[in-house]
Amino acid sequence: MDTPTQALLGAALSQSFFSKRLGRKALVAGLVAGALADADLFIRSSTDSLLSMTMHRHFTHSLIFVPIGALIAAGICLLIYRRKEDFKAIYIACLLAYATHGPLDLCTSYGTVIFWPFTSSRFSLDCISIVDPVVSVPLLVGCIFSAKKKSNRPAMVAMLFVTSYLMFGLMQNQRALAIQQELAQSRGHHIQHGRATPTLANLFVFRSIYRAEGRIYADKITIIPFWKKSVDEGDSIELFTEDDLMGYPDSLQLLVRDFRKFARFADGFTARVPDNPDVVGDMRYSSSANTFQPFWGIILEENDAQHPVKRVSLRRLRDPSD
C-alpha cells in the first residue's frame, strides 16, 4: 500500500507489544521500520526506464530481508535516541514492524516479490486497493491514542479492525472471481488467466479482467453482501505479446528483453492503448473498472537500438498541461 499506511501499520504492531516498555519510542521504531522497505523507490537508472518500476516492491519486501531491514531501522532509531540499553527491544519492535510491509503489499494488486531470492515472481492477493483510508485512518487513530496513553490497547484494536477488513476483502475477491468464471462461461470463454481487483478504496466494486482467445476482457462487478450482486459488462482488447514483436528488427534484442520484463511485471495483461497505439499499456489498472484506460505503459522505439523501450505515464500523455 501507500508508504504512510505501511508506516502506520508497523507502528500499530510495534506499539501493540512495546508501548509499555518503550513508550513513544515504539511508535517511532514502528514508523521507521514499517516504511523503510519502500526505500527501493530510489533505485533508478538513467539508461533503464523500467528499473524503478520493476525494483519497487522487490528484494526489500521479501521475507528473507526482514531481519536485515529491521537492523537498519533499529540503527536509525539508535541514532535518534542514542540509548544503547534499549537497542534489543527496539530491534524486536522494528522486526515486527518491518515484517508487516511485504504481507500488506501482498494484499494489493500491484504484486510483491515476497519470496525472493527463491523466486522473482510477484504474488498478489487482490483483496485491497493500493490506497484505502478505511485502513489508514483507524491505524492513525490507534497509533495516536496508544502514544498518548502509553497503552497498547488502541493499537491492538486498530490492528484487529484492519485484519478483519483484509479478511473481508479476501472473501469479496473470491466472490468476484466466482462471478468472473460464470461470466466467462456464459460467453463460451476458457479463462487462461484472470484477476479481480478492488477499485480505489472500495471493496464492493471490483475490476474483473481475464485473458481468453488472444484478448483481454474487462468488466465491473459489484458485490454488496446480503443485498446486491451485479455485472456491468465492458470492453475487450487484443493482447499484445512477444509474438507481436516479430515485425521489429532482429537486432533489437534489448527490446525483446525489456518487453518481457514489462509483460512479467504487468502479469501478462499487456495491450496497445486504444487512444495511443504506439504505447503498450499495463491493462491491470484503468480509470474505469470496465474499460482500458491504463495509467502507465511503454513506448517501443525501434529506431533507438540502445534504449528501445521507454516507460511513460499515460496520464501525462493525455494531459498536455502536466
Q: What is the tens place of the pLDDT at every residue in 139-195? A: 999 999 999 988 899 999 999 999 999 999 999 999 999 999 999 999 999 999 999
Domain that holds residue 227: 188-238
231 shares its domain with 255: no
Examine residue 175 and state whether it is found in any structural domain, yes or no.
Answer: no
Euclidean distance between CA atoms 268 and 126, whole angstroms: 16
Do residues 226 and 270 share a domain? no
Q: Residues 246-280: pLDDT tens digits?
A: 776 665 777 888 888 999 999 999 999 988 888 99
Cell numbers that stand for 134 in this block: 478505511
Tell me, yes or no, whether 161 and 42 share the same domain. yes
Whether residue 281 is found in the same domain as residue 296: yes
Same domain, 144 and 22: yes
Torsion angle, alpha carbons of 40, 46, 48, 53, to 10: 30
Considering the domain boundaries, does residue 179 fall inside one? Answer: no
Query: Which pLDDT belongs to residue 304?
Result: 67
Picking from 140, 168, 196, the residue at the C-terminal end of a domain is 168
Q: How far apart are CA 306 and CA 253, in angstroms?
A: 10
pTM above 0.85, yes or no: yes
C-alpha torsion sign, points 225, 228, 233, 234: negative
Domain count along the chain: 3
In a domain, 176, yes or no: no
Reading the block at residue 73, the C-alpha cell is 531501522
> Do 78 and 43 have their domain in common?
yes
Confidence of residue 320 (pLDDT cuts 50, 70, 90): very low
Same domain? For 226 and 250 the reply is no
Domain check: are 249 and 310 in the same one?
yes
In a domain, 181, yes or no: no
Same domain, 210 and 123: no
Whole-angstrom distance, CA of residue 312 vs CA of residue 297: 6
Residue recorded with cell 528499473: 51
Q: Is residue 15 part of a domain?
A: yes
Q: Do 50 and 134 sit in the same domain of this protein?
A: yes
Residue where a domain terminates, one of 204, 222, 238: 238
pLDDT higher than threshold 60 for residue 319: no
- Contact in structure between 237 and 274 (CB atoms under 8 Å): yes
Cα 212 to Cα 200: distance, rounded to the nearest angstrom = 26
Does residue 196 lie within any of the structural domains? yes
Alpha carbons 196 and 59: distance in angstroms, whole number: 26
Enumerate residues 6+ apart whose C-beta is below 8 A from 114. Answer: 61, 62, 63, 102, 103, 105, 106, 123
Q: Is residue 174 part of a domain?
A: no
**Does 116 map to a domain?**
yes
32 in the same domain as 98: yes
Q: List the beta strands (DSSP E) in 57-201.
A: 193-199
**203 lies in the same domain as 264:** no
